[in-house]
C-alpha cells in the first residue's frame, strides 16, 4: 500500500480501538492488559506445534491435530478453544449434521489471524512470535527486580546469566543456538516486510543506483 493509505488505515484502526476502549469498563480493560502474557503463550504454542500449517491442508479435530503434533488430545482441544476465543482459529461449520457436533467431531480451521503463523505465509509472524516468547519473554519477567535495584544487573542479565550483555548478550546466545538466530532473522524480516513496499515507493531511492542495508537480519 502507498504510505498515505497505510497511515490512513492505521489511523482509522486507532480511532476504532479508542472507541472500543471508551466503551470498556476500566476493570475489564485492566484485566485484559494483565492477561496479555496468556495470549503470548497461546499463540506461541500454536506456532510451535505448527497447527496453522496443519490446518492449511483442511479442517482437523483436536484429536487429529494432537496425533500430528505428538501431543495430548484434551490439551490440544483446550488450546484450540482458547486461541479461537481470540480469533486465532475457529470452528468449521458443522455441515450435514442434524445435531450440534460433539467435541470429538468438531473440526477447526484457520482464520486470517492464525494464517499469519503459517511458515509459507507472505507476511508470516511465526518467527516474531517464537522470538518474543523464547528470547524476550524471560527478561520481561525480571523487570521488577531492575526497578527494585536500579544499579544492579539489567533484566537480560538476570534472565540469561550465561550470556551477559557485556559479552554480547543475545548475539552471544545465538552463537550456541543457531536455530534461535535463524528465528530472529525471520522475525526482523517479517517486521520489515510489513512496510517495505511503502518505504520503497515513498522513499527517495530512485536517485540512487545502489542501496545497502547495513546490519540487516540476513547479513
Q: What are residue 204's phi and psi, to 5 degrees?
A: -85, 45
Compute CA 37 distance to the chain's CA centroid, rounded to the nearest angstrom. Answer: 12
CA nearest to 132, candidates 191, 60, 67: 191
Residues 6+ apart with CB under 8 A from 168: 175
Cell of 97: 449434521
Average pLDDT over residues 43-68: 97
For residue 139, give the 3-state DSSP assignment.
helix
Task: State yes or no: pLDDT of 113 exceeds 90.
Answer: yes
Q: Give residue for cell 491435530.
A: 65
pTM of this prediction?
0.83
Asked if 50 contacts 119 with a C-beta cutoff of 8 angstroms, the reply is: yes
Percentage, residues of the chain above pLDDT 90: 71
pLDDT for 160-189, tens place per residue? Answer: 999 999 999 999 999 999 999 999 998 988
The pLDDT of residue 103 is: 59
Amino acid at each position: 500500500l502507498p504510505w498515505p493509505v497505510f497511515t490512513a488505515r492505521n489511523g482509522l484502526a486507532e480511532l476504532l480501538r479508542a472507541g472500543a476502549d471508551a466503551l470498556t469498563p476500566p476493570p475489564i480493560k485492566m484485566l485484559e492488559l494483565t492477561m496479555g502474557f496468556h495470549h503470548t503463550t497461546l499463540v506461541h504454542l500454536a506456532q510451535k506445534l505448527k497447527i496453522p500449517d496443519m490446518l492449511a491442508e483442511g479442517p482437523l479435530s483436536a484429536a487429529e491435530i494432537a496425533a500430528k503434533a505428538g501431543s495430548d488430545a484434551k490439551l490440544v482441544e483446550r488450546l484450540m478453544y482458547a486461541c479461537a476465543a481470540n480469533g486465532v482459529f475457529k470452528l468449521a461449520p458443522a455441515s450435514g449434521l442434524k445435531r450440534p457436533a460433539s467435541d470429538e467431531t468438531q473440526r477447526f480451521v484457520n482464520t486470517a489471524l492464525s494464517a499469519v503463523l503459517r511458515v509459507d505465509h507472505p507476511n508470516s509472524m511465526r518467527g516474531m512470535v517464537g522470538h518474543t516468547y523464547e528470547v524476550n519473554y524471560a527478561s520481561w519477567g525480571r523487570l521488577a527486580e531492575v526497578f527494585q535495584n536500579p544499579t544492579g544487573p539489567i533484566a537480560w542479565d538476570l534472565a540469561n546469566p550465561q550470556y551477559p550483555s557485556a559479552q554480547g548478550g543475545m548475539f552471544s546466545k545465538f552463537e550456541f543456538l543457531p536455530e534461535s538466530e535463524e528465528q530472529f532473522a525471520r522475525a526482523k524480516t517479517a517486521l520489515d516486510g510489513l512496510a517495505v513496499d511503502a518505504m520503497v515507493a515513498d522513499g527517495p531511492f530512485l536517485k540512487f543506483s545502489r542501496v545497502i542495508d547495513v546490519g540487516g537480519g540476513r547479513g
